[in-house]
C-alpha cells in the first residue's frame, strides 16, 4: 500500500515538504485554512486537499486529518507552522502514529517549560519565574535586577511582550491581564524574566538520529523585539565560519537539542549575547523551520534547504533512509520590511549579489549572497536605507498573533 503523509498548515508555507513526499512516491494530503485555498500550493503534489474555517480550532484540524485516515491509512503527520506543531502531535496521538508526542512538543512551545528544561541542563537562561504564586513572584522581584519583561508563554516572535521598570509596573500589568477574565489572558499564561540587552543570534539545524547533520548560525541586525515594537527593516546574516561566537553557539545548540531530546527533524534556536557579561543566554527554541525567509538565506549560503530536509526526514523509512545534505560555506543575508505598496517594484535595485526577491503582498525583501561576509554587510546596510526611503511601512504593534488555536 502507498505510504500516506498528512500536512497541517495554518499558514501558506511548506511546499518543499509536499514536493519531497511526492517525489518519494508518497500519497500527500493537506489540511489548511479556507483563506489559503487559492494560494500557490504545489497542486500536482497533492492527492487530497481540505480546508477548515479561519476560526478553526485545533480539534477541527485533527478531525480533518482523521477523515483522511478513513480513506487511506496515514503513516506520518507533520505540522509546518509554529501553531501547527502541537496540533500535529495531538493528531498523531489520536491516530496512534509514530512521531513526537504532544507533551514532548510542548517543550518547544511553552516558553516556561523551555526555560525549566534548559536551566536543568545547565544552559544559561535569563532569570525567570512563572506567574502562579504572589509570594514567589514578590521574592523574585526583590532579587532580580530591573528591567524585566512579562512574556506570553505560547505566543510567537515578540507578540505580547511587556517591559517593566519596577515591581509596581509588573503588578499593574498582571492585574490588568487578570481583569480581562479570559483564560488566554490569565496571568498564569505568562512568565517574568530579566530583560537583557545585547545581540541576538539564531541557530538553525537539521537533526538526524540525535545528531546535528547540517547547521546555520546567523545574527540579527536588529532584534525581532525592536522591529516588532519600533518598526524598521529586519536583517539577518550568516556569522563568520571561523569565529569564536559560531563555535560557542554550535556547542550550546547541540547541548540544548540533547536536553530537549530532539532526535529527528529541524530546529530554530535563538540566543542572546549579553552586553553586560558577554555570555550567551537562551531566548527560545522551536522544532520547526524559522520564519522571515531564514531557510532561503541558509540555502543560498550553506547549500541546503531546511524545508526540503524536513520533508525528507518526515518520510524516512528503513527501506529509504535519510541522507544528510552536502553543505558549503558562503555568506548570505536578508533585508525585509513591511511595504507601503501592495506589490513593491524592486527592479531598480540592481546589485549583482541579489539572489532572491521576496514576492509577498505588502512586503519588500532582498537576499544577498557573496563569498565575502563584509560585502553582505555592506549590501544589507545600503539596501536597508534604500528600502526605508522607498517603501517602509510602520505597522502598529499587535499584542498577539492572530492565531486560531485558542
The bridge status of strand 148-152 relative to strand 190-194 is: antiparallel
Phi, psi of 305 (to 5 degrees): -105, 120
Task: Name which of 294, 306, 374 is nearest 334 in CA terms.
Answer: 294
Q: How many helices (H) and strands (E) does the chain have?
A: 12, 16
Rounded Cα–Cα distance for residues 182 and 210 (Å) = 40
At residue 156, the pLDDT reads: 72
Angle between helices 244-259 and 111-120 (to 10 degrees): 100
- Rounded Cα gap, residues 253 and 386, in angstroms: 35
Q: What is the mean pLDDT of residues 20-28?
A: 98
Q: How remote is the C-alpha of 381 from its chain's centroid?
A: 24
344 phi/psi in degrees, rounded to 5: -65, 135
Q: Is the dihedral of CA 8, 60, 291, 254 positive or negative?
A: negative
CB 264 within 8 A of CB 104: no
**Residue 11 in this model has a pLDDT that exceeds 80:** yes
Q: Is the pLDDT of residue 214 over 50?
A: yes
Q: Give residue 160's pLDDT.
A: 84
* The pLDDT of residue 187 is above 80: yes
H/E stretch holding 246: helix 244-259
In this prediction, residues 38-63 reach a mean pLDDT of: 97
- pTM for this predicted structure: 0.92
- CB-neighbour burial class of residue 106 (10 A; exposed 0-12, middle 13-18, buried 19+): middle
Segment 47-66 mean pLDDT? 97
d(CA 110, CA 2): 36
**Helix 294-302 with 306-314: angle, nearest 10 deg:** 100
**215-264 per-position pLDDT tens digit:** 999 999 975 556 655 568 999 999 999 999 999 999 999 999 999 999 99
For 271, the grid coordinates are: 540566543
Decide if pLDDT at 406 tops 50: no
Q: Model confidence at 404, in pLDDT bands (50, 70, 90)?
A: very low
Residue 401 reports pLDDT greater than 60: no
Q: How far apart are CA 17 and CA 309, in angstroms?
A: 8
At a CB cut-off of 8 Å and minimum separation 6, what does 134 contact? none
SS3 245: helix
- On the question of pLDDT at 375 being above 80, the answer is yes
Residue 5 has pLDDT above 80, yes or no: yes
3-state SS class at 172: helix
Q: What is the pLDDT of residues 113-130, one digit of tens each?
A: 999 999 999 999 999 999
Output DSSP code: residue 395. P
Lowest pLDDT segment from 160-169, 299-308, 387-396: 387-396
Q: Structural domains in the chain?
A: 4-99 (3.40.50.20), 127-194 (3.30.1490), 198-390 (3.30.470.20)
Amino acid at each position: 500500500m502507498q505510504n500516506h503523509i498528512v500536512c497541517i498548515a495554518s499558514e501558506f508555507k511548506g511546499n518543499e515538504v509536499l514536493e519531497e513526499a511526492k517525489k518519494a512516491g508518497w500519497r500527500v494530503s493537506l489540511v489548511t485554512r479556507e483563506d489559503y485555498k487559492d494560494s500557490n500550493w504545489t497542486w500536482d503534489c497533492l492527492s487530497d486537499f481540505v480546508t477548515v474555517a479561519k476560526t478553526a480550532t485545533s480539534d477541527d484540524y485533527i478531525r480533518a486529518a482523521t477523515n483522511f485516515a478513513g480513506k487511506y491509512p496515514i503513516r506520518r503527520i507533520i505540522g509546518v507552522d509554529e501553531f501547527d506543531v502541537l496540533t500535529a502531535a495531538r493528531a498523531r496521538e489520536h491516530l496512534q502514529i509514530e512521531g513526537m508526542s504532544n507533551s514532548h512538543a510542548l517543550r518547544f512551545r511553552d516558553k516556561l517549560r523551555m526555560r525549566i528544561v534548559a536551566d536543568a541542563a545547565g544552559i544559561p537562561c535569563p532569570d525567570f519565574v512563572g506567574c502562579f504564586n504572589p509570594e514567589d513572584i514578590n521574592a523574585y522581584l526583590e532579587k532580580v535586577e530591573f528591567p524585566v519583561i512579562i512574556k506570553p508563554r505560547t505566543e510567537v516572535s515578540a507578540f505580547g511582550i511587556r517591559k517593566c521598570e519596577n515591581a509596581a509596573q509588573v503588578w499593574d500589568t498582571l492585574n490588568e491581564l487578570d481583569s480581562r477574565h479570559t483564560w488566554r489572558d490569565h496571568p498564569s499564561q505568562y512568565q517574568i524574566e530579566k530583560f537583557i540587552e545585547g545581540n541576538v543570534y539564531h541557530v538553525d539545524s537539521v537533526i538526524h538520529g540525535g545528531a546535528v547533520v547540517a547547521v546555520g548560525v546567523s545574527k540579527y541586525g536588529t532584534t525581532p523585539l525592536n522591529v516588532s515594537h519600533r518598526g524598521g527593516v529586519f536583517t539577518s546574516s550568516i556569522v563568520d565560519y571561523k569565529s569564536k561566537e559560531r563555535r560557542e553557539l554550535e556547542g550550546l545548540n547541540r547541548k540544548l537539542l540533547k536536553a530537549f531530546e530532539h532526535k529527528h527533524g529541524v530546529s530554530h534556536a535563538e540566543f542572546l549575547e549579553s552586553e553586560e557579561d558577554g555570555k550567551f543566554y537562551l531566548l527560545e527554541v522551536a522544532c520547526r523551520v524559522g520564519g522571515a525567509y531564514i531557510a532561503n538565506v541558509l540555502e543560498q549560503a550553506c547549500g541546503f534547504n531546511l524545508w526540503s530536509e524536513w520533508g525528507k526526514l518526515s518520510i524516512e523509512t528503513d527501506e529509504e533512509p535519510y541522507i544528510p545534505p552536502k553543505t558549503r560555506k558562503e555568506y548570505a543575508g536578508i533585508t525585509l520590511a513591511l511595504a507601503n505598496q501592495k506589490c513593491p517594484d524592486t527592479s531598480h535595485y540592481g546589485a549583482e549579489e541579489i539572489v532572491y526577491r521576496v514576492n509577498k503582498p505588502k512586503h519588500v525583501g532582498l537576499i544577498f549572497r557573496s563569498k565575502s561576509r563584509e560585502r553582505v554587510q555592506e549590501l544589507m546596510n545600503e539596501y536597508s536605507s534604500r528600502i526605508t526611503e522607498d517603501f517602509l511601512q510602520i505597522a502598529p504593534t499587535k499584542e498577539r498573533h492572530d492565531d486560531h488555536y485558542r
